[in-house]
Amino acid sequence: MAKKASVGPPDAAGAFDAPTAIGLLRTMWRIRAFEERVGVLKRADEVYGLIHLSIGGEGVAAGVCSQLRDDDAVYSGHRAHGHALAKRAPLERVLAELMGRSDGLCCGMGGSMHLVDVEHGFMGATGVVGGNIPMALGAALAPRLEGGDSVAVVFFGDGAVQAGHFHESINLATLWELPVILVCENNGFAEFTPRSAHTKVERVADVVAPYGLARETVEGSDVRAVWEAFGGFLQLARGGEGPFLLECLTHRLRGHYEGDAVAYRDALSADEWQRKDPLVQLTRVSTAAGWLTEDELAVIEAEARSEVERAVEFARASAYPPVELIGQLVYAAGTPS
């Protein structure tokens, strides 16, 4: 494969090389270790509310967010942990948020479905499916009106595509040519129901075809494909073009939420999961290319798991927020500059 001119992340996709792959593997292992630990914490009733894990989707989060800057706005949905971590939200504060603690990203006021980290441009997850899509368009208006080459990215599942605001947003994003990249994680299930029970259109890229926007469908387990496709769109969006749609075919290893009995589908065989696990896939690519050894991989995994354990201790030690916070945060005071 001809090597592309490397301008290197975080600005745009360059060559998919050893540092890129290792960086992605680190991010993906942090997400995997985080999500597995959260599943255990949920069963122990230490994290609160509905918990939607993204195991199986780490490649999309890492492949997209690793290329973004802090001034690029990312919006996510209810399955947001991986996106927040990949956008560099501090892991221990994400966990503290899930545990409702004062050191949480949002002081314990938001929780799993409402993670926000403005400092790193993670502008918010939302519990209302599809409601985040037009908000990302609003974020993309800022560089349109004020100048600059920042972009907006929104993650959503295929379940959001049947909602009215998706169609309103595609129309407006194309009409206004906004620098927004819509990243659909098509895992084939909307909550408990397969996509075939909700729509006749299998591919989200086909749903938006009449609007004529550039779009691509990739295997979400193929991190390199995600990284390259997104990087290409990002480079164009930085130049003021848009919108773009990247559809990533993913597999949701866990149920819709933790505790979901998952009676509506058959479990994957171990072999199938090996083929769909983005970590297994990228590991195979990286070791085959000689980018890192099994030992180095084991270190990456161990570091991720120990970071998560430290985060558990950090969050457990953090106090619950004071009751006074309920009334203090309803309105922003004063006039922002």
Q: Please report whether residue 142 would count as binding another protein according to CB under 8 A.
A: yes
CB of 241 to another protein, least distance (A): 17
The binding track of 174-193 with respect to another protein, each residue x by CB under 8 A or -, is: -xx-----------------
Question: Which one, of 11, 144, 1, 126, lies nearest residue 68 by Cα?
Answer: 11
CB of 97 to another protein, least distance (A): 8
CB of 83 to another protein, least distance (A): 15
Type and span of the H or E element at 274: helix 270-276
Give the CA distances from residue 159 to residues 30, 53, 186, 193, 251, in Å, rounded to whole numbers and listed in that order: 26, 16, 8, 9, 14
* Of residues 118-137, those binding another protein (CB under 8 A): 118, 123-124, 126-128, 131, 133-137
Return the residue of 4, 69, 114, 198 that touches another protein, per CB under 8 A: 114
> Could you tell me if residue 123 is left (phi over 0), alpha (psi between -120 and 50 degrees) or otherwise beta?
alpha
Catalytic residues: 252, 256, 264
Q: Please report whether residue 108 would count as binding another protein according to CB under 8 A.
A: yes
CB of 330 to another protein, least distance (A): 5
Strands (E), 81-199: 122-125, 152-157, 180-186, 189-190, 193-194
Q: Please report whether residue 139 would count as binding another protein according to CB under 8 A.
A: yes
Type and span of the H or E element at 218: strand 214-219
Residue 252 neighbours by CB under 8 Å, 6+ apart? 54, 55, 56, 57, 187, 189
* Of residues 277-306, those binding another protein (CB under 8 A): none
Q: Position of tokens 């908000």?
A: 135
How many residues interact with another protein (rule CB under 8 A)? 49
Q: Position of tokens 């990243």?
A: 183
Q: Which residues bind another protein (CB under 8 A)?
A: 73, 75, 104-110, 114, 116-118, 123-124, 126-128, 131, 133-142, 144-146, 152, 164-165, 168-169, 171-172, 175-176, 329-336
